[in-house]
Amino acid sequence: MNALLITLWAKVRTSYWFVPSLMAISAIVLSFVTTSLDYRLGAAWMDGTSWLYGNQPDGARAVLSTVAGSMITVAGVTFSMTILSISHTTSQVGPRLLNNFMGDKANQFTLGVFISTFLYCLMVLRTVRNAETAPPGQTGTVGENVELLGAFVPHIAVMVGVLMAIVSVGVLIFFIHHIPETIHVSNIIAGVGRRLNAQIDSQFPARVGDPRDVEAEHDSQSALPPLFDESAEKVQSDGTGYLEYIDGDGLLDVATRHDLVLHVQPSPGDFVTRSHVLLLASPRDRIDEKIASELSAMFVYGSQRTATQDLRFQVNQLVEVAMRALSPGVNDPFTAISCMDWLQSALETLASRELPAAHRYDDDQRLRVIAEPVTFRAFASLVFDQLRPYVATNRNASLRMMEVIGNLAVQVTSARDRRLLARHACALRRECRRAITDTRTLALISRRYRDVLRVLTDADIRSRARQTGNWATR
């Protein structure tokens, strides 16, 4: 249940309807509040204020009808502008960025302002009445006093409606400015990059001290009990889709209560089917249908990948934009370079973080859950291995990728990560030699490659580069 609530709340927060709906409900409540004030105060309080004037029923109706009609028209225009800009931009940078536009709070707020102003005026308009008939409960001849009692103009509510219309004009000006900013490719890339860095900050604590270069500490199989696979029960998926969320705390709680050891197989973002094994639970004789169902409920699926737990999804968003930019039909290496800059920032942030351990223990320090941790190696592969065939065909992009590897070489503190970067730099130079024929470009790439190797192998050069910010020869 906790996993479902978390994923549901994440979807609601990024939906296009949530904020406008809240604002619409607030506008309806506000209409009741202001009309109640008008019922209580009447119109006498306006007599001593020269710059206020009392509307007649027909005038109040005209003002409210004008504001309501204009607001619903403008709301339709802004919605059309949003959809048009989204369709154009996603066709250029990729459809997987659609949720980023839908979750834009400025777009949601703009639509909410126009809808709430329309609803507010509509709700107030229904309370305006003429003094043509006696009010309920009055009998006899309709005279002047009875007419005055029967007429009602909510002066405070009308003024609030006019103020909301003025605010809506300001919001419209802001929206016209915001739309071009939103669809600018640099701002799109920067938005994805900032969200990626923010999620890394929220998921991984800062590292204290230097990391240990022990390959075995990431070996999940070595920590499993003897004959684990033979004694474990398979818990299979009860649905099909992309894995959006895994409730790790819930799995640990179930494993502790039933004295189990769980080995989680997939990671958030993986596509699973009904034949897919979610986890292995040992010992087998403690697993019944109820416990298996309880364990399966800790996994939430969806029709698309989300950024709730899946950092790879946001990395792939930037990689996709870079791939499209380097395709022959677009040929925009500077957009690809911008993507690589933000990917470098994310990899630097990740390299400085304490990555989660594969093993989780209960309060008695007994092994309960094993799940493969996210690694710097996996993210580096997502970036460099996927982009390398596209980057290697372009001079500017290939040089920038080599510089990204060099900048990372200065920042990473793990010897294992430095060896990984050396292999990616070697693979990039080899790919460039096959794809590029210009000898001057190849010579420049080779020189940058040698600079990267010096940074990776010489601690003094790394230390000097951290101080000066410069590691490449001129």
pLDDT score, position 144: 47
Indicate the pLDDT class of residue 146, thresholds 50, 70 and 90.
very low
271 phi and psi angles, rounded to 5 deg: -90, 125
Q: How confident is the model at residue 217 (pLDDT cuts 50, 70, 90)?
A: very low
Distance CA 21, CA 446 (A): 58
pLDDT beyond 70 at 262: yes
Between the CA of residue 32 and those of 57, 115, 299, what are the distances in Å? Answer: 18, 17, 44
Tell me the average pLDDT across 347-357.
Answer: 83
The pLDDT of residue 209 is: 46
The residue-averaged pLDDT of 188-215 equals 73
Q: Is the pLDDT of residue 143 over 70?
A: no
Percent of the residues in the chain that have a pLDDT greater than 90, as a whole number? 38
Mean confidence (pLDDT) of the chain:
84
The predicted-structure confidence for 402-446, as pLDDT tens digits, reads as follows: 999 999 999 888 889 999 999 999 999 999 999 998 999 999 999
What confidence category does residue 383 fall into, taking pLDDT thresholds of 50, 70 and 90?
very high
pLDDT exceeds 80 at position 150? no
Looking up tokens 């800790």, which residue turns up? 298
Lowest mean pLDDT among 49-53, 240-244, 449-453: 49-53
Q: What is residue 147's predicted lDDT score, i.e. its pLDDT? A: 44
User: What is the structure's pLDDT at 223?
Assistant: 61
Q: How high is the pLDDT of residue 474?
A: 64
pLDDT in tens, 245-259: 888 888 999 999 998
Q: Which residues, in sequence order, are CB contacts of 222 under 8 Å at separation 6+? A: 216
What is the model's pTM?
0.80
Q: What is the pLDDT averaged over residues 358-378?
A: 86
Per-residue pLDDT tens for 316-344? 999 999 999 998 888 889 999 999 999 99
φ, ψ of residue 301 to 5 degrees: the values are -110, 160
The predicted pLDDT at position 50 comes to 58
The residue among 229 and 164 whose pLDDT is bigger is 164
Residue 228: Cβ-neighbour burial (10 angstroms; 0-12, 13-18, 19+): middle
Q: Which position has the higher pLDDT, 334 or 303?
A: 334
- Exposure string over 361-386, b if 16+ CB within 10 A, otherwise e: eeeeeeebbbbeebbbeebbebbbeb
Q: Give 62-116 pLDDT, tens digit per residue.
A: 889 999 999 999 988 888 888 887 777 777 777 777 777 777 888 889 989 999 9
Which tokens go with 48? 């001593």
Instruction: Give the pLDDT score at 315.
Output: 92
Is 87 within 8 Å of 186 (Cβ atoms)? no
Inter-axis angle of helices 185-203 and 333-351, nearest 10:
10
User: Distance of CA 285 to CAs 260, 289, 291, 370, Å?
Assistant: 10, 11, 11, 20
Pairing of strands 271-272, 241-246: antiparallel
The reported pLDDT for the residue numbered 341 is 95
Least confident interval from 26-40, 50-64, 277-291, 327-341 = 50-64
Q: What angle do CA 292, 297, 301 make, to 5 degrees?
A: 125
Confidence of residue 215 (pLDDT cuts 50, 70, 90): very low
How many residues in the chain?
Answer: 474
Residue 397's pLDDT band (boundaries 50, 70, 90)? very high
Cα angle 79, 84, 85; round to 5: 100
For the ranges 5-14, 160-169, 196-205, 308-317, the lowest mean pLDDT is seen at 5-14
Structure confidence by residue, pLDDT tens digits, 44-65: 666 666 555 556 788 888 889 9
Select the highest-mean-pLDDT range: 183-187, 209-213, 446-450: 446-450
pLDDT of residue 231: 81
